[in-house]
Structure 1
């Protein structure tokens, strides 16, 4: 699927600049309520006031995935760089690195954001949710409210951002597979709206009666088939995947509440397990075999899990060869794109899956991202000029079906 609109074609020269696959907006407070069916008003996301403080409820329960849903003030972009590089100077309290600022209007306005992209030297950016990354987990026990909330969110997204705004901003629609029939209807609607990529939570799919199911369950094939046929890739972005329930077995909290007394043991137990298990489920349960045109991207999940997953899958393939149609490493190289954390060994990732499957993502404007997105290029030591261009620009354009 290739962009053909005249205004997008006129920007062809712009695409010689880097294209960031991991940018974020900060949702407006009515993102999940503006278009929500009134039937789900008290079952989906609700906005409430407690004195001067604005909070969110999800299914009537306090929704703490983002403790400050007005985002004002908000963390300074990139202020936690040293923390995530593990390079905090001796004697410096890691908590002192967190800085806040008033909400920048460009975090919520697409025209201002285009100006920011130009100032940053970016041709464009893939924009992903912030609050939205916690909604499926919060509403997993009410599938009707979950599906209605996701659909309402996508309509807000179309109002405020659009799926290919000025050929520069490509917002990622949310998709839940919890009700496969509703998911197919939403994909059909999104295709009509010009969506370029959808975001699916890297986690088991919520199912009735408090159960869940593998993403590879054939009941979801109708969704994967629709996406594959339309050439729409799937982004698996770091989210609340519900994995704190495993940390709870070790005495840690069973809910993920960021920025408030982080549990160190939970951080280690959960780590990158969700994306590791997500890609494993797609391979072992045969999704890529049944849907050979399906493409997926792991965004903001790091890349260290890739090497461990390949090692484990190859061992499993040796023990149960009937469960695999090919070397699982080849399956990953064909179907999976990965945006590594900037502090990781990007060269090792490229040597493992191919430089044509590595994506540049800055996580801007989040505090754990880069201050200046294109500084990611500094992490590509040892890459050829052609490989650098792939990582910084053409790989994501190919993924989105944009001519370059």
Structure 2
């Protein structure tokens, strides 16, 4: 494995040429993902299928319910949006080239671990966190606790079979855990740990009217803490926002093409992750569970400076108030720095973010490969996002911070 990026004669050298840790990657599922372990009783109302509906659109369905967002990018012939090409597609649309087709057939590295590892070697990616594929658009439709645990448990079984939770200490795949039923959550996370999981993915927001860090959930977090798991909150439809959006007359679970700017800003963007992470900190979670580390993935990072400033201010305002998890012993911004990491968008103004926060120690890169929204190749992230920052900070973001977050030696 090379330690520097290969540079073609006459081509400009990449902004960063060292090793990479990619904290936001995905796969595309095989057909077995949806049915291999799912009971017949769950398939009727919560089984996941792909079909052309009565409206003529090919889409994902959860039971009889169409997952509207899926119709924006799914094709019956199996093609998917080309990796890292969203900006190119949007530019073409702006220029009036509505008929541009930037879809490709899935390649082996999108579908199975051996080929993905070979691709990582080609790109000098030493390690990667890997997240779910089409399942990410279906999670908010799993709105009944028993069904949610069964569907996600069956999916996690397929994930273990096909990808492993830890593939050669290089690919760390994140099974999905929900706290909708505490007993089942504890059972599921124990199974994940026993099968090598180092990182888990959880939906953002509360469960049954309680914060995830509420002491009623401590039995679950004690298991997570003992195993020193990393817990990720990846962008998805934070379904707890649906009631708030309804107050404004703004429906959720819509096609992204039809989604309003208001929902983008308040229902699907940074608000769910800001509320989720600040809740953990204000509940004094890390005083009880210091081995747990949290990661925000594909929510960007430009919201972090304002969040840290606001948390510190609100701690002072509430200093003599009610602290259900116990009074904080330190500034929220310092607690965040010790326990939380954030995957930036390549389009974020990372220099401005670092200048405001004071350091880059919590920022991770993520290519989002093989999705269209990220970059075509992981090294492209530095070319787009790391302009104007030091070489040492660039190396932290591209490699060192991700390795340390996963407990690995850079």
Q: Same fold (TM over 0.5)?
A: yes
Q: Is structure 2 residue 339 aligned with structure 1 residue 339?
A: no
CA distance in 2, matches of 1:169, 1:222: 28
- Determine the structure 1 residue equivalent to 2:372: 367
**Correspondence list, 1:77-92, <5 A:** 77-81=83-87, 88=91, 92=95
TM-score (norm 2): 0.85
The 1:115–1:221 alpha-carbon spacing in structure 2 relative to 1, beyond 3 Å, is same
The 1:350–1:308 alpha-carbon spacing in structure 2 relative to 1, beyond 3 Å, is same
CA distance in 1, matches of 2:101, 2:406: 34
TM-superposed CA distance for 1:119, in Å, is: 2.5
2:175 pairs, out of 173, 176, 181, with 173
Given that 1:333 and 1:354 are in contact with CA atoms closer than 8 Å, whether structure 2 keeps it comes out as no
Deviations 1:20-56 (A, max 9, x none): 1111111223313211133322232232644898654
TM-superposed CA distance for 1:90, in Å, is: 11
The 1:96–1:288 alpha-carbon spacing in structure 2 relative to 1, beyond 3 Å, is farther
1:327 pairs, out of 327, 331, 334, with 331
CA distance in 2, matches of 1:275, 1:96: 35
Q: Which runs of 4+ in 1 moved over 4 A?
A: 11-14, 48-55, 88-91, 93-98
- Determine the structure 2 residue equivalent to 1:232: 229
Q: Is structure 2 residue 65 aligned with structure 1 residue 61?
A: yes
Q: Is structure 2 residue 403 aligned with structure 1 residue 397?
A: yes
2:117 pairs, out of 100, 114, 117, with 114
Q: Is structure 2 residue 210 aligned with structure 1 residue 213?
A: yes
The 1:363–1:50 alpha-carbon spacing in structure 2 relative to 1, beyond 3 Å, is closer
3-state DSSP of counterpart to 1:372: coil
TM-superposed CA distance for 1:306, in Å, is: 1.2
CA distance in 1, matches of 2:288, 2:81: 43
1:356 pairs, out of 361, 383, 401, with 361
Deviations 1:196-217 (A, max 9, x none): 1001112222x3xxxx432222
CA distance in 2, matches of 1:23, 1:71: 23
2:394 pairs, out of 364, 372, 388, with 388
Given that 1:69 and 1:131 are in contact with CA atoms closer than 8 Å, whether structure 2 keeps it comes out as no
2:271 pairs, out of 273, 279, 293, with 273
Unaligned runs of 5+ in 2: 5-17
TM-superposed CA distance for 1:263, in Å, is: 2.4
3-state DSSP of counterpart to 1:343: coil
The 1:81–1:91 alpha-carbon spacing in structure 2 relative to 1, beyond 3 Å, is closer
Given that 2:204 and 2:238 are in contact with CA atoms closer than 8 Å, whether structure 1 keeps it comes out as yes
- RMSD in angstroms over aligned alpha carbons? 2.8
The 1:399–1:29 alpha-carbon spacing in structure 2 relative to 1, beyond 3 Å, is same
Given that 1:12 and 1:403 are in contact with CA atoms closer than 8 Å, whether structure 2 keeps it comes out as no
CA distance in 1, matches of 2:224, 2:393: 28
The 1:48–1:103 alpha-carbon spacing in structure 2 relative to 1, beyond 3 Å, is closer
- Determine the structure 1 residue equivalent to 2:33: 31
**Correspondence list, 1:104-253, <5 A:** 104-140=107-143, 142-205=144-207, 207=208, 212-242=209-239, 243-253=241-251
TM-superposed CA distance for 1:97, in Å, is: 6.8
Given that 1:183 and 1:223 are in contact with CA atoms closer than 8 Å, whether structure 2 keeps it comes out as yes
Q: Which moved more, 1:52-61 or 1:220-229?
A: 52-61
Count of residue pairs brought into register by the alignment: 383
Unaligned runs of 5+ in 1: 1-10
- Determine the structure 2 residue equivalent to 1:3: none
TM-superposed CA distance for 1:91, in Å, is: 5.7
Given that 1:81 and 1:370 are in contact with CA atoms closer than 8 Å, whether structure 2 keeps it comes out as no
CA distance in 2, matches of 1:366, 1:329: 32
CA distance in 1, matches of 2:22, 2:50: 34
The 1:100–1:65 alpha-carbon spacing in structure 2 relative to 1, beyond 3 Å, is same
3-state DSSP of counterpart to 2:44: coil
CA distance in 2, matches of 1:71, 1:126: 28
Q: Is structure 2 residue 10 aligned with structure 1 residue 21?
A: no
- Determine the structure 1 residue equivalent to 2:294: 296
TM-superposed CA distance for 1:341, in Å, is: 0.8
Q: Which moved more, 1:110-119 or 1:222-231?
A: 110-119
Deviations 1:284-335 (A, max 9, x none): 2222232222210111001122122222212211211143412111111111
- Determine the structure 2 residue equivalent to 1:75: 81
TM-superposed CA distance for 1:167, in Å, is: 3.1
